[in-house]
């Protein structure tokens, strides 16, 4: 379910968007805000924030940065951008997970929201080229600073040893009940572990969590599965 917080200077626009989404079964509007302060009080209820560039004092940009810092698992989509590479890149660098252009339709907006929620990126070829160029620039900065390459923080470092065991068993295709039996723990405990794993890895499904398994350096071949 996409839990959506809508942020627009004009509350009426929030109401219009909410009415447009009533027929979409995978959407739930959990709040509406007209400024940054009001939005930050409601972000905890959402997994996607839809923020309009009409907010005064560069509010959309500041909100995007604030959400990234305080709620990194919540995705921000900026609405109403001009088709400008510089403007789009500015918001992406601030932490936006997606954007909707001024000329886009409601259908295109819904497609963008669903893509972001599914951890996908919809960008034009031109923007993709700009992003590739910026990555190359960052790599050069790292090399100039004496580092071989940028090393992102590995989310698995936050997983407990038991959560790593549970994730390994998830990768084997075991159900929660089968994992509980294998580890000799309560079913409710397994469910809590699975919830924590998805939260820490910032994914929406067991499949996405398992897909990260090969990228997790915290897993060691010397760590045996529990009997």
d(CA 136, CA 33): 37
Give the neighbor-by-neighbor strand order of the sheet with 75-81. Answer: 27-33, 2-7, 48-52, 75-81, 98-101
The strand ranges marked E within 26-136 are: 27-33, 48-52, 75-81, 98-101
- Is the pLDDT reported for residue 33 higher than 90? yes
Q: DSSP letter at 74?
A: S
pLDDT tens digit string along 8-32? 998 888 888 888 888 888 898 999 9
Count Cβ atoms below 10 Å from residue 87 Cβ, excluding itself.
Answer: 16
* pTM for the full predicted model: 0.60
CA-based angle 99:74:38, to the nearest 5?
90
pLDDT at 17: 83
Instruction: State residue 161's pLDDT score.
Output: 86
Name all domains of the chain by residue range, CATH numbers in brackets: 2-120 (3.40.50.2300), 125-151 (no CATH), 155-215 (1.10.10.10)
pLDDT at 220 over 50: no
- Rounded to whole angstroms, the Cα distance separating 12 from 20 reads 12
Q: How confident is the model at residue 98 (pLDDT cuts 50, 70, 90)?
A: confident
Supply the mean pLDDT for the chain.
Answer: 79
Q: What is the mean pLDDT of residues 54-72?
A: 90
CB atoms within 10 A of CB 150: 10
Q: Which helix (H) or strand (E) covers residue 6, if one does? A: strand 2-7
Percentage of the chain beyond pLDDT 90 is 25
Q: What is the pLDDT of residues 134-179, one digit of tens each?
A: 666 666 666 666 655 545 554 555 788 898 889 889 888 899 999 9
For the cut 90, the answer to whether the pLDDT of residue 63 exceeds it is: yes
How crowded is residue 45: how many other Cβ atoms within 10 Å of its Cβ? 13
Is pLDDT larger for residue 101 or for residue 61? 61
């Amino acid at each position: 379910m996409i839990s959506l917080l809508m942020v627009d200077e004009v509350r009426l626009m929030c109401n219009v968007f909410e009415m447009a989404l009533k027929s979409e079964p995978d959407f739930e509007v959990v709040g509406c805000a007209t400024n940054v302060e009001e939005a930050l009080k409601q972000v905890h209820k959402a997994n996607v924030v839809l923020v309009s560039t009409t907010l005064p004092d560069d509010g959309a940009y500041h909100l995007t940065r604030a959400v990234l810092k305080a709620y990194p698992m919540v995705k921000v989509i900026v609405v109403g951008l001009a088709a400008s590479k510089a403007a789009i890149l500015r918001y992406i660098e601030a932490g936006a997970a997606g954007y909707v252009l001024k000329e886009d339709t409601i259908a295109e907006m819904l497609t963008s929201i669903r893509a972001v929620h599914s951890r996908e990126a919809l960008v034009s070829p031109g923007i993709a080229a700009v992003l590739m160029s910026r990555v190359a620039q960052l790599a050069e900065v790292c090399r100039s600073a004496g580092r071989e390459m940028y090393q992102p923080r590995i989310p698995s470092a936050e997983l407990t040893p038991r959560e790593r065991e549970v994730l390994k068993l998830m990768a084997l295709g075991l159900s929660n009940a089968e994992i509980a039996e294998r580890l000799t723990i309560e079913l409710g405990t397994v469910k809590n572990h699975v919830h924590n794993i998805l939260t820490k890895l910032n994914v929406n499904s067991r499949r996405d969590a398992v897909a990260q398994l090969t990228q997790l350096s915290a897993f060691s071949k010397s760590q045996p599965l529990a009997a």
